[in-house]
Amino acid sequence: ISVYRVQADNNNNSPQGVQIVGQTDYWDSINLQEGGDYAPVDKGLAIQDFLNQLKPGGFQATPAAPEIPYQLLRRGNGYEIRRYPSTCVVTMPYGRRDEGFGSLGAFTQGMNPLGPAIMEVRDQQAGDKVMTWPLTFAAPGESSARFVTEASQKSKDFAQWSECEVVSRPEQVIAVREFADASMEPVVRRADRELRQALIRDGIRVNSSSSSSTDSVLFAQYDAIFSMGKRRGEAWIVLDEDMHCW
């Protein structure tokens, strides 16, 4: 954010009647303090934060699909907040992620699905897990994504795809924490827990439906299931946009 110092414009040079006499810029990643206030920090921290953004990533795992575009609303310390456009997605329950990738890959053949793959573990003990693949997204200026009718019809016409559901989803604001390890349960739940702690630290409220990671966790995977190299996974928490002014 930028904080401006103003004073009354006694010379009537400004139609607003004020004159800007100073400006202080703050970065969410280093200046945001516990509780949501901003404070100055040593310039060395700012330089290091900037250099960290320029570091090469090394050998990266192969992306499974083109990524949905998003608007970055905040780059905080240990997390990002993004606005994703409306999407049309296909979802299905799964037991193992490799099987889920295989099934959705077969279902979406010829449909050019997008990334990331999004997994929601609602009840680990009961095996209640759902995988989601985006199919289309709303372009700038569009209120909703194109509904993929052929995918919806395919799930109705063939018994083998009866568990696949094609639905439209509205625009969402999502808090994200990245992790580079394989998406095993301890890794995902640790990232989810650390993300929640960072949001609380910075005064960001979480939906009541997303207030606990004990039973439910949401995470995204960008790389192909058996790819080599540095992986890219993310813990996700959906935020209520009405709770915050971005």
**Banded model confidence at residue 76, pLDDT cuts 50, 70, 90:** very high
How many other C-beta atoms are found inside a 10 Å radius of the C-beta of residue 168? 15
For the chain, the residue count is 246
> Cα–Cα distance between 210 and 213 in angstroms, integer?
7
> Cα–Cα distance between 41 and 26 in angstroms, integer?
9
Q: What is the pLDDT of residues 27-55, one digit of tens each?
A: 777 787 777 788 888 878 777 777 766 66
- Beta pairing, strands 172-179 & 233-239: antiparallel
> Cα–Cα distance between 77 and 32 in angstroms, integer?
8
**Banded model confidence at residue 58, pLDDT cuts 50, 70, 90:** low
Q: What is the pLDDT of residues 12-28, one digit of tens each?
A: 777 767 778 788 887 77
- Kindly report the pTM of this predicted structure: 0.79
Taken in order 223, 226, 230, 234, the sign of the CA dihedral is positive
**pLDDT for 211 beyond 50:** no
**pLDDT for 126 beyond 80:** no
Region 89-95: mean pLDDT is: 95
Place of tokens 């810029």: 25
> Cα–Cα distance between 138 and 142 in angstroms, integer?
5
Which backbone phi and psi does 45 adopt, to 5 degrees?
A: -65, -40
Token pair for 136: 């289309």
Q: Please report the domains of the chain, with CATH numbers, ordered by start residue.
A: 2-54 (no CATH), 62-246 (3.20.80.10)
